[in-house]
A = this chain, B = another copy of it.
Amino acid sequence: MNIAIDAAGGEYAPHEIVKGAVKAAQDYNVNITLVGRKDILYIQASRYLKKLDMQIVDASQTIEDDESPIEAVQNKPDSSIAVGISLVRAGEADAFVSAGNTGAVLYSALIGLGRIEGIERPAIGSIINVNITSPVLLIDAGANSNCRPDHLLQFAQLGNIYAREVMGIASPRVALLSNGEEETKGNRLTQTTHSLLKQTDLNFIGNVEGHGIAKGTADVIVTDGFTGNIVLKTLEALGDTFLRLRNVGQVFANVTHTESRHQLFDVGLSSLIKRIDYRESGGACLLGVNGDVIIAHGRSQAKAIRNAIGLAKQSVDRNVCQIIREFSAANSIRSTESVEAEEEQGPERP
């Protein structure tokens, strides 16, 4: 298996990306292709590898985080993102992992790999680990700002496949994010989606409120990409706040030579912070395109990159794309009746 990684994307590129890639190659026994400026990556990789047994593919351009995704992809054909996606399309890589500009990865994947037939809106599935024993897949975590009920229905189906195949949950509990647990609660989008979800053979457990993300009562939580993105970033920000407090505490402990600690609390807290800290946790998956694409957080450090590559390996191992293709072919999940005029413009641009 060969996994291409965007060595130019993210806040800590290329150093942490290369470090994480080297670790992943060892831990998961996969081949890695680093994508970025060859001269720089050669030096970086040489720091970690005695024998340079890692492929490097040159990409002369870098898309920055603050660039407009569509323009950047169009104006930089030799970006590390475009080159990485083209490796997957050409079959030279089995998956692509990037911590770069999310919109650019999304747009590049849409035009480079295309949507799986029958999938109207590829979506981002993000694994949230706030609950110790029960991680949850939030889908869509940010790809589609404006959604229709049939889009959310597809997100549920995509998320169900991913939770079953990659997260290893036999019968994923699928829930709809809303502002009330009762069927009648929600906005028009969720009310209609609720009735659609009830008609499927999914293990649909109904609506969950914002609490549901931490409660561990659902395995897949379905929402539109606008709400999903806001929830994800709200969680991140609170994690950041706790992380800062922990750091202040540690500095203080060092200064005062405090030795004994609230150990159990500290272990529990550190573990929780790690779980919601994107520097340590894995990435999110782009589901519904013809290829395995993992989106890592822009602030990913080596450990997160290693974990994201692990996630990519699992997706490839479990044949997620093929399973989605087969599901989509067997199930007419496209509800052509409700396709509005605007839909004819193609997938939403990031």
Contact = CB atoms under 8 A, between A and B. Distances in A.
Interface of A: 130-131, 142, 145-146, 177-180, 185-188, 190, 209-215, 224-227, 229-238, 240-242, 245-246, 248-250, 252-253, 256, 258-266, 268-269, 272, 276
A260 B252 CA distance: 12
Given A214-B238, A265-B249, A225 B179 contact: yes
A255 to B, nearest CB: 9
Contacts of A236: 210-211
A252 B229 contact: no
A179 B265 contact: no
A10 B259 CA distance: 43
Q: Copies of this chain, how many?
A: 2
Contacts of A262: 249-250, 252-253, 258, 261-262, 266
A237 B263 contact: no
Nearest to A241: B214
Nearest to A210: B233
Contact of A231 (B212, B230, B240, B249): B230
Given A179-B142, A187-B146, A225-B179, A249 B233 contact: no
A234 B237 contact: no
A209 B236 CA distance: 11
Contacts of A213: 234, 237
Contact of A260 (B231, B233, B258): B258
Nearest to A234: B210
Contacts of A215: 237
Contacts of A142: 179
A145 B230 CA distance: 16
Contacts of A237: 130, 210-215
Interface centre among A185, A210, A242 (most CB of B within 10 A): A210
A75 B214 CA distance: 36
A309 to B, nearest CB: 26
23 contacts: A130-B241, A145-B179, A146-B187, A146-B188, A178-B226, A179-B225, A211-B233, A213-B237, A214-B238, A214-B240, A215-B237, A226-B227, A227-B230, A234-B235, A235-B238, A238-B276, A242-B269, A245-B265, A245-B268, A245-B272, A253-B265, A259-B260, A262-B266
